[in-house]
Each structure stands twice: as C-alpha cells, then as structure tokens.
Structure 1
Amino acid sequence: MDKKEHLPTYSTAQLALRNGQDRKEIWISYKGLIYDVGGSRLWKNGRHYEHWAGQDLTAEMEDAPHGEWVFERFPIIGKLI
C-alpha cells in the first residue's frame, strides 16, 4: 500500500496559511502533494526568488532552473484537495 494514500488533506486556503508569515510552517504544493520546505535556507521567510510559499507551484516548475527531483529532499506533509 502506498504511504501517500493515508496522508492528511489540506485545502488551498489551509495551504495559504503555511506561507512563513502567518504561521511558522513553510509549505508549498507540487502535483497535488504538499511539501515542508521550511528546513531550506532557500525558502527563508517563505520566499524563494519570485515564488511565495503557501501556494501550488506546479505550473511554475516549467520555468525553474531545476527539475522536480528537487522535491525529493523535502518531507511530504499531505495532499492538496
């Protein structure tokens, strides 16, 4: 059984609160999964270059200088509904 099946679910409004400003958590979403990026110095204060935490960044990955493998280093917190 896939561990991702039993992850908690969060709405876009709940994700938006985890932007590094309103709460301590710094989360982003990619392809329906929510990642905790708070441990990365590149996401300090909830911002990574022109990207803000608390959002779904799936569409923005097309322009990124890296591939989706970058998410492998971050823990998965839940699923975006």
Structure 2
Amino acid sequence: MKAFTRQQLALRNGQDKPEVWIAYQGIIYDVSASRLWKTGKHYEHWAGQDLTHELPDAPHTESVFEKFQPIGILTD
C-alpha cells in the first residue's frame, strides 16, 4: 500500500479535497462513500485524522473498518 503523511491525510477531510479519509492503527481508509462521513464529520469526529485513540469512546468496535477499503498506510 502507498504511504501517506499526516499532512496528506489532513487534506482528505471532505473540505480541502473531495476525498474523505480516516486512519486507524496506521491504516488509512477511504470513507467517502459512507453517508455518515459525507460532510467530513461523523458526530464529533472529523475526517483527515488518525482516530485510533477515539475508538474506545465509540458505540461500535473496530470491526466497522471492515466496511471500508484500506488505501494506504500512515507515516510520520
């Protein structure tokens, strides 16, 4: 998979570029097709970020990421 920096991920927030991406445990997922992420915001979470540390507060488990295509890895 292609590597992306945090800055590249941040641009895929549904506002700066049309793509809506999020990262979880070093993997970047394209959530553009999700109606829940359509505007780049999902409840109090914003796209273009690593959401690894926010998952414990979510009403779902990490299995939610199985619905989305992994498109890259997050590098520092």
- TM-score w.r.t. the length of structure 1 is 0.92
Residues in 1 aligned to 2:35 and 2:66: alpha-carbon distance in whole angstroms: 16
Instruction: Name the residue aligned to 1:41.
Output: 35
Q: Which residue of 2 aligns with 1:17?
A: 11
Q: Tell me the equivalent position of 2:26.
A: 32
Identity across matched positions, percent? 64
SS at match of 1:29: strand
Which runs of at least 4 in structure 1 moved beyond 6 Å after TM superposition?
none
Q: Which of the two has greater strand per residue?
A: 2
Structure 2: state its 5+ residue gaps.
Answer: none
Greater Cα radius of gyration, structure 1 or 2: 1
- State the TM-score, normalizing by the size of structure 2: 0.98
SS in 2 for 1:60: helix
What CA RMSD, in Å, does the superposition of the two structures yield over aligned residues?
0.3
Structure 1, unaligned stretches of length 5 or more? 1-6
